[in-house]
Chain A
Amino acid sequence: MDIIQILLNGIVLGSLYACIAIGFSLVWGVLNIINMLHGSFIILGGYLAFFAWQYSGVNPVFLLPIIAALLFGLGYLLQYFFINKVVMSPVLTTLTLTFGLDMILYNLMTVFFTATPRRVTLDLGTINLGDMYLPVDRLMGMGLALFLTALLFLVMRASKIGRAIVAVRMDRQAATLMGIRVNNVYAITFGIGAFMAGAAGVIFSMVFPITTNLTGTFLGKAFVICVIGGLGSVPGALIGGIALGLIESFAGYTIGPQNATTVGFVLMLFLLIVRPTGLVGVKGYE
């Protein structure tokens, strides 16, 4: 295979990965919570897109805002009524709680949607450039993922709520004294995390078949990307995602696709030990 083709595949995959990881990174960075629900949020977004598309025939691109908004609502409520109660507890507590919530959500999905792989097939064809080829649905997915990433970056940077989130991340106490309702900001942050996960799920459903069995895989990718890119920063997650996409793409070509994920994990452990602040080390959204 041509090296440029591998590079392109890596970038397309990496943009999708970035979209997976951004919400997870935001929640970890701001709330200091490892959100074990994240993989299920992605799959939920994907399933909702599939069934809505099957039922209505509407292109999932147009369904994306509605589905992502639904996920935002779910995330907001979960954080507001459950996770906020233990948000200052040690990681063992918060991680176990989100894992328990994940078991419930996962079970609901397997009962109502079953674990059958689903995929939205739009048949958009491929673009050929010389001897390279790129499926249009993937390109569209990449475009959407990058668009959402840029949107979140702008929200964090320019909007009132974005600044409030940054303020809470920097100093929770000071933010409280400035009149920021921290619990509300936490819930919104978690909601945004779920929003991005849901959106990533919608995009994935148009590109790959998705099933509930993939929740763990997606969660694992989010771990790796966060460690590569550093926590709680949009550019970090983007760089981390694309880096992982490229690494997996090249590893898949050179040592076989079955080992690609392993390489990602090995790299992550190595980085954790050598540079626990992340490769990029971008902190916050400043």
Chain B
Amino acid sequence: MKQFLYFGAFALWVALIAATPLLADNYTIRIAISIAMFSAMAVSWNFIGGFTGYPSFSTAAFFGLGCYAGALAQRNGIPLVMAWVFATLFVAVFAAMLGAIILRLKGHYFAIGSIAIVDLTRLITSSWGSLTGGGDGLNVPLLQGSPQEVSALVLYVMLAILIVAFLTSIYVDRSRLGFGLKCISQNEDAADMVGVNTTSFKIVAYTLSAVFCGAVGAVYASWVGYIDPTDSFSILLTLKVPVMVLLGGAGTLLGPVLGAGVFVMLEEVFWANFLEWNRAILGGIIVFLIFFLPNGLLKIQYRTLYGALVQKLRSAPKQAEKSS
């Protein structure tokens, strides 16, 4: 029943986003693409940050590497779709190898290590000019077609990635893997003691948190046609994605999608109306989120709204009895 609700809400939301090319102008489609893209990354992050409880801040490294791997593959003559697939696999392998090293760290050290990965990948990309074009950035072959066709194509590819990510998260949530990850998030030593292979479980979660970001990055690079290190490996991006998940509800299935949708739309409103202050306003949202919505939008609804409703329903008949 609950699963059905998840599927229904998600399917409805995806259908709505997918309908934008038929109903709305290019500006709206651009927002729809952003939503699909960030939702996919938020769902991705949820594997390591939500299920496993590891404060990972490497999202931008995976995204950026996806951008560059896809762009470089295309520039070296690999056809479009193959280049995207290559970028995805490249990022997955990178994350698995990196995870085997940095997942030995915990807590604050893991957080710092995972942020450092973003800085490091950016610095290396900037200084390896012969391959990556360095700080000047890289032109990516443009997608064929009219602007409308291109945005529709990008939107559908992003949505496809989101759907795969979401289905994976549902599968993981019900599976042995998800169970083990939740054990790790609550008490890693105890998880070890009941027979969870914590090292490999964490590596799988970390890789899952990377793979969809890599795919999204490659598609993004093809969409915008130009990438540079500052934009691709941005600290802002690496922190924004966890904030989206926290906003929706970390460790839940729909939370990341909800959080990403709300966040992107809020951001859009602030960009449009308070260009100069948009960063401060987003900061304000984060502060508000930490103090007033520590468990995210999904949980607050359950606790207060539903609770209040039940109380009203319960007290209503009693009052009716008393008055009669």
- Identify which of residues 60-106 in chain A touch chain B, using a CB-to-CB cut-off of 8 Å: 82, 85-86, 90-93, 95-97, 99-104, 106
- Complex-state Cα separation, A163 to B285, whole angstroms: 37
Which of A32, A91, A92, A272 counts the most B-chain CB atoms under 10 A from its CB? Answer: A92
Contact partners of B123 in chain A: CB under 8 A: 259, 261-262, 265
Main secondary structure of the interface of B (DSSP, over half): helix
Contact partners of B109 in chain A: CB under 8 A: 272, 276
Shortest distance from the beta carbon of A268 to any chain B beta carbon, whole Å: 6
From B107, B119, B246, B284, give the contact of A96 (CB < 8 A).
B246
User: In chain B, what residue has the closest Cβ to A108?
Assistant: B280
Contact partners of B111 in chain A: CB under 8 A: 34, 91-92, 95
* Chain B 116-154 near chain A by CB (<8 Å), digits 1 or 0: 110110011011000000000000000000000000000
Is the CB–CB distance between A265 and B55 below 8 Å? no
User: In chain A, what residue has the closest Cβ to B124?
Assistant: A262
Which of A103, A227, A268, A272 counts the most B-chain CB atoms under 10 A from its CB? Answer: A103
Tell me if A111 is interfacial: C-beta within 8 Å of chain B: yes
The interface size of chain B toward A, counting residues with CB under 8 Å, comes to: 43
Contact partners of A153 in chain B: CB under 8 A: none
Is the CB–CB distance between A276 and B290 below 8 Å? no
Contact partners of A111 in chain B: CB under 8 A: 276-277
Contact partners of B101 in chain A: CB under 8 A: 273
Given contact pairs A85-B291, A91-B55, A220-B119, A32 touches B108 in the complex (Cβ within 8 A): yes
The interface size of chain A toward B, counting residues with CB under 8 Å, comes to: 42
Which of A28, A224, A256, A262 counts the most B-chain CB atoms under 10 A from its CB? Answer: A262
Given contact pairs A85-B291, A93-B294, A258 touches B112 in the complex (Cβ within 8 A): no
Shortest distance from the beta carbon of B247 to any chain A beta carbon, whole Å: 10
Contact partners of A268 in chain B: CB under 8 A: 116
Tell me if B242 is interfacial: C-beta within 8 Å of chain A: yes
Given contact pairs A100-B285, A272-B113, A273-B104, A107 touches B127 in the complex (Cβ within 8 A): no
Shortest distance from the beta carbon of B82 to any chain A beta carbon, whole Å: 31
Is the CB–CB distance between A262 and B242 below 8 Å? no
Is the CB–CB distance between A93 and B290 below 8 Å? yes
Shortest distance from the beta carbon of A63 to any chain B beta carbon, whole Å: 27
Contact partners of B300 in chain A: CB under 8 A: none
Which of B102, B113, B123 counts the most A-chain CB atoms under 10 A from its CB? Answer: B123
- Complex-state Cα separation, A91 to B290, whole angstroms: 12
* Chain B 27-63 near chain A by CB (<8 Å), digits 1 or 0: 0000000000000000000000100010101000000
Interface residues of A (CB under 8 A from B): 28, 32, 34, 82, 85-86, 90-93, 95-97, 99-104, 106-108, 110-111, 216, 220, 223-224, 226-227, 256, 258-259, 261-262, 265-266, 268-269, 272-273, 276
10 smallest beta-carbon distances between A and B, as pairs: A100-B286, A103-B283, A107-B280, A104-B283, A92-B55, A107-B279, A262-B123, A100-B283, A265-B120, A97-B290
- What are some 27 contacts across the A-B interface (CB < 8 A)? A34-B108, A82-B287, A93-B290, A95-B57, A95-B111, A96-B243, A96-B246, A96-B286, A100-B283, A100-B287, A100-B289, A106-B280, A111-B276, A216-B235, A224-B116, A261-B123, A262-B120, A262-B123, A262-B127, A265-B119, A265-B120, A265-B123, A269-B116, A269-B117, A269-B120, A272-B113, A273-B102
Interface residues of B (CB under 8 A from A): 49, 53, 55, 57, 101-102, 104-105, 107-109, 111-113, 115-117, 119-120, 123-124, 126-127, 235, 239, 242-243, 246, 276-280, 282-287, 289-291, 294
